Chains A and B, each alone.
Chain A
Amino acid sequence: MIVLRDVSKIYNTRLGPKTVLDRVNLTIRPGQKLGVLGCNGAGKSTLIRMMSGAEQPSSGKIHRGMSISWPLAFTGGFQGSLTGADNLRFICRVYGADYARALPFVESFSELGHYFREPFKTYSSGMRARLAFAVSMAVDFDCFLIDEIIAVGDARFTQKCHDELLVKRGDRSIILVSHQPSTIRSLCDTAVLLVGGRLLSFDSMDGAFEFYDRLMTGGASPL
């Protein structure tokens, strides 16, 4: 279980304090696949970083009852000047995973070819996504935090993610944030909406998508 209780995050900006998350409450059960929908700047990435523990909330409590991945995003988690292989080695050491065992899987899943031994900063966003995803699968967590990265992949990558996450690791939890309902629809069983720092729950996925559609076309008031 992961439980967020009244989690708020306030950033100090030049124009004064800005509330990015406002008393968010959320519970994630083992095996649950949760999609967090929100438009750009809604606080999705901030929410996922709070969950991972990479950042501390300004107030509120987060209980982590299972092992959680770092936020799989385009930036962060990898050192630009290190090669893909060296980054894998570092991450294996940090999480106490076996590098020799992880290496073949990551090398074949990420399909980086000789780029696997080139610096991470030379990678395209698709390559970064594949590497981040493969490394997190190799380390193996109870809960994977995914920040948009699946959305950039081609159909083949999406299919592979689907196989790894839903078929081989059906008992694990996923928290996927995206502004694209289609990505969430293909991988998640529940959806919540993040609007103006507040989290809105819905009884059904369709309810969430409908509300989101209306929000995007300007038809619904945020709260």
Chain B
Amino acid sequence: MQTRLHPTPAAEGLGSEFSGSLLRSALIQLRVIHALVLREVITRYGRHNIGFAWLFLEPMLFTCGIATLWTMAKMTHGSSLPIVAFALTGYSSILLWRNCSNRCVKAIEPNLCLMFHRNVTALDVLLGRVVLEVIGASVSLTVLSLVFISLGWMAPPSNILIALQGWVMLAWFALSLSLLIGALSERSELVDRVWHIFTYLLFPLSGAAFLVEWLPSAAQKALLWLPMFHGVEMLRSGFFGGLIHPHYDAGYFAVANLSLMFLGLAATRQIRQHVQPE
């Protein structure tokens, strides 16, 4: 693996304090992703009116809209679950991986000019976008939870650690999926065309609008092959505790994420050979 060189002699000295070039490469990569995230904030939201607050407001408004709709439609199917918390957990988790992957489709091309800088790679560009989306979705979930709890519309999570584990693993899933989709969309126009349709079709299959428990057991078995089910069920288990009977396997979810991430990283590495900076 090629070492990323630090440009200034002063910084070079700083780098030698750390043993091993891996750590130094990691530091440079963090610096690059930081720069990309801040640049993305400016190009996407500008410095006008409320600017980058849209990063959180957009998912929050989306989630509120869905919560209202589901409340009116009585989407909990006669169960005693608090509908607001049900909508919040379900829609937030779908937003997380859908926004991340959608933002990574065709993300490399508009950033080709930045890849003139050796340290800015396709992986960094994708990571930058995922980081921003994960921050947006996480802040949205946290703020809305606090607001709804303080308004008395939902109870505080019964086990915050399980909820957190579910959320972090969903973010991991979002990252792995986004790398794969982002890299593949650079190779083939088809991915760009098909992916948005695919995410829409996946909506009913994401576990956002129902609990696995409500399904017949044959359907449960089939659907639990889809990794994101485990994340939503885990998140809801953390929020609702004994109110629901969750169906998830953290081990399976981790293995699925790991495999997906391996494919994503391999695909991203592949486009390195094909990248032609403008």
Contact = CB atoms under 8 A, between A and B. Distances in A.
Contacts of B277: 49, 54-55, 76
Contact of A67 (B5, B43, B113): B5
A96 B278 contact: no
B42 A77 contact: no
B113 A82 contact: no
Interface in A7-63: 11, 49, 52-56
B7 A86 contact: no
B34 A97 contact: no
A140 interface: yes
Contact of B5 (A64, A79, A80, A82): A64
Given A76-B278, A140-B7, A140-B8, A81 B43 contact: yes
Chain A CB count within 10 A is highest, among B11, B32, B114, for: B114
A90 interface: yes
Nearest to B5: A67
Chain B CB count within 10 A is highest, among A68, A71, A73, A77, for: A77
Interface string B48-79: 00000000000000000000000000000000
A81 B113 CA distance: 11
Contacts of B9: 67, 142
Contacts of B32: 93-94
A199 to B, nearest CB: 21
B272 interface: yes
Nearest to B32: A94
B215 interface: no
Given A56-B273, A82-B39, A94-B31, A77 B8 contact: no
Nearest to B119: A94
Interface in B2-31: 2, 5-9, 11-12, 28, 31
A91 interface: yes
A211 interface: no
A90 B35 contact: yes
A75 interface: yes
Contacts of A94: 31-32, 35, 117, 119-120
Interface string B32-50: 1011001100110000000
Given A93-B38, A94-B31, A71 B116 contact: yes
Contacts of A212: none
Interface residues of B, number: 32
A181 B28 CA distance: 38
A109 B28 CA distance: 28
A133 interface: no
A78 B5 CA distance: 20
A86 B39 contact: yes
A116 interface: no
A96 B117 contact: no
A90 B8 contact: no
Chain B CB count within 10 A is highest, among A11, A81, A96, for: A96
A67 B12 contact: yes
Nearest to B113: A76
B115 interface: yes
B271 to A, nearest CB: 11
A132 B134 CA distance: 33
14 contacts: A49-B277, A55-B277, A70-B117, A76-B278, A77-B113, A77-B114, A81-B43, A90-B35, A94-B32, A96-B11, A97-B7, A97-B8, A139-B8, A141-B7
Q: Which 10 A-B pairs have the closest CB atoms?
A: A93-B35, A53-B118, A76-B116, A67-B7, A77-B116, A70-B116, A95-B7, A54-B277, A94-B35, A70-B117
Given A54-B115, A97-B8, 8 more contacts: A49-B116, A52-B116, A54-B116, A79-B113, A82-B43, A93-B32, A95-B7, A96-B8
